Amino acid sequence: MFVAELRCAICGRSYTPDEVAYTCPHCGPAGVLDVLYDIKALRAAVSREDIARSADTTLWRYRPLLPLAAADRVPPLAVGGTPLYDAPRLAADLGLAQVWVKDDGRNPTGSLKDRASAVVVARALAQGIEVVTTASTGNAAAALAGLAASVGLLAVIFVPASAPEAKIAQLLTYGAHVLLVQGNYDNAFDLAVEAAERYGWYNRNTGMNPYTVEGKKTVAYEIAEQLGWQAPDVVVLSVGDGNIISGVHKGFSDLLALGWIGHMPRLIGVQADGSAACYQAWKTGADPATMPPIASHTVADSIAADLPRDRVRAVRAVRETGGAFVSVPDDAILAGIPVLARLSGVFAEPAAAATYAGARAALAEGHIQPDERVVLLVTGNGLKDIKSAMRVAGAGHPVAPDIVAVEKVRQALGLPTFR
């Protein structure tokens, strides 16, 4: 494996992978560790052509760029390899030259979180740890439960009791032990930390386990490869804890260091007005490491976080790529669900559909230019939260079981005929 060191995003101290399991001992919970590779050795060992020749269409296609030894076992579920759709009608609607939709709702448990959990489960297997745990607003938990089930590991999940039903249904069905925390995500997070420490379980907590980003970065690899190693100008994605945006930044950074892409895309982080800590830190120039929590309230449960756990790297991702954060209201997030679905065919959960409202806001605020090539990253499947979709999807038309009634509805709707 080509991992050279784990380096603290705050103080820059360097550790070996055997030395530290989670965050920087010197900086505490905010001191997330970047997994850095021996780029020179990687360059000598693997090329874009080697990747192109791989018959593997999952994220393991990029295995030399992942923190696994050659003999390490990986879970069998087909994570990654999700489609990147050219979406000309969506582009026209937004007033953009070129828009692609990366549909990561197509992953085995329905969200991009599968990428992180796949790598974390592989790391657990490599260490011989049989119990994995995490706190989650839902998707990370479903992903860990599914990936753990695929290899027979035990998963213990801490979720807020208020998590959407579909996500809890996934956990239970996969056979995870589900602890419904009477509190919010942040309470669940702290409990998972304590339990993992006390019982020796392997903790996937976002913004704590260094390897989640290593899984999530593969979405950037795929976008680059799917575009013929021409990075887009802009990637728009939603931000809760800030781990996905950190992963996307890491992915493009790796490719740039390897010389596989020519430029770094600007990253536009979309937050909900009711959960906008990273946006605030970026806008005011505050130090994200020391900012206080802000109570979060949003319909987009997957991006609700009082104190985003990976805020230091999320703000860094936006600052270093010359991107921006935007903040959008819940009604715009919801309104984006049917627009995205109707103009691209991709059904997204609220947090994922927020990229549509976010792209609009970013255009209006001058963070995206109309002639740019833009990727909207859809992070989660619409079936994850049908209650939210039903609030904005419209209603069906009751009809008596005869064609006369159908004809009335047809006329009322102005549906065309072809004979």
The option from Zn ion, ligand PLP, none interacting with 23 (CB < 5 to 8 A, set by class) reads none
Size of the site for ligand PLP (CB under 6 A): 18
Instruction: Say how far apart CA 193 and CA 187 lie, in whole Å.
Output: 10
- Provide the 8-state DSSP code for 201: P
Q: Is 349 in the site for ligand PLP (CB under 6 A)?
A: yes
- The contact set with Zn ion (CB under 5 A) reads 8, 10-11, 13, 24, 26-27, 31
Q: Is 23 in the site for ligand PLP (CB under 6 A)?
A: no
Instruction: Say how far apart CA 239 and CA 243 lie, in whole Å.
Output: 8
Q: Is 242 in the site for ligand PLP (CB under 6 A)?
A: yes
Could you tell me which residues are beta bridge partners of residue 101?
85, 376
**Residue from the set 68, 159, 219, 244 that interacts with ligand PLP by CB under 6 A:** 244
The option from Zn ion, ligand PLP, none interacting with 241 (CB < 5 to 8 A, set by class) reads ligand PLP
Select from 49-57, 144-152, 223-231, 239-247 the region that touches ligand PLP (CB under 6 A): 239-247
Q: Which backbone phi and psi does 180 adopt, to 5 degrees?
A: -85, 100
Taking the complex as a whole, the smallest distance from the CB of residue 273 to ligand PLP amounts, in Å, to 16
The crossing angle, in degrees rounded to 10, of helices 350-364 and 330-344 is 100
- Provide the 8-state DSSP code for 288: G
**Residue from the set 74, 239, 328, 334 that interacts with ligand PLP by CB under 6 A:** 239
Select from 44-52, 64-72, 233-241, 337-345 the region that touches ligand PLP (CB under 6 A): 233-241
What is the CA 158 to chain-centroid distance, rounded?
19
Give the helix/strand (H/E) hosting 133.
Answer: strand 131-135
Strands 3-8 and 324-328: unpaired
The option from ligand PLP, Zn ion, none interacting with 218 (CB < 5 to 8 A, set by class) reads none
The crossing angle, in degrees rounded to 10, of helices 113-127 and 139-151 is 40
The option from Zn ion, ligand PLP, none interacting with 240 (CB < 5 to 8 A, set by class) reads ligand PLP
Q: Is 274 in the site for ligand PLP (CB under 6 A)?
A: no
67 and 141 in contact (C-beta within 8 Å)?
no
The option from Zn ion, ligand PLP, none interacting with 111 (CB < 5 to 8 A, set by class) reads ligand PLP
Q: Is 382 in the site for ligand PLP (CB under 6 A)?
A: no
The option from ligand PLP, Zn ion, none interacting with 351 (CB < 5 to 8 A, set by class) reads ligand PLP
Taking the complex as a whole, the smallest distance from the CB of residue 137 to ligand PLP amounts, in Å, to 7
Select from 30-38, 173-181, 241-249, 324-332 the region that touches ligand PLP (CB under 6 A): 241-249
Amino acid making up residue 409: V
Within 10 angstroms of residue 20's Cβ, the number of other Cβ atoms is: 16
The DSSP annotation for 78-106 comes to ------EEE-HHHHHHHT-SEEEEEEGGG
Q: Is 139 in the site for ligand PLP (CB under 6 A)?
A: yes
Q: Which backbone phi and psi does 171 adopt, to 5 degrees?
A: -60, -50
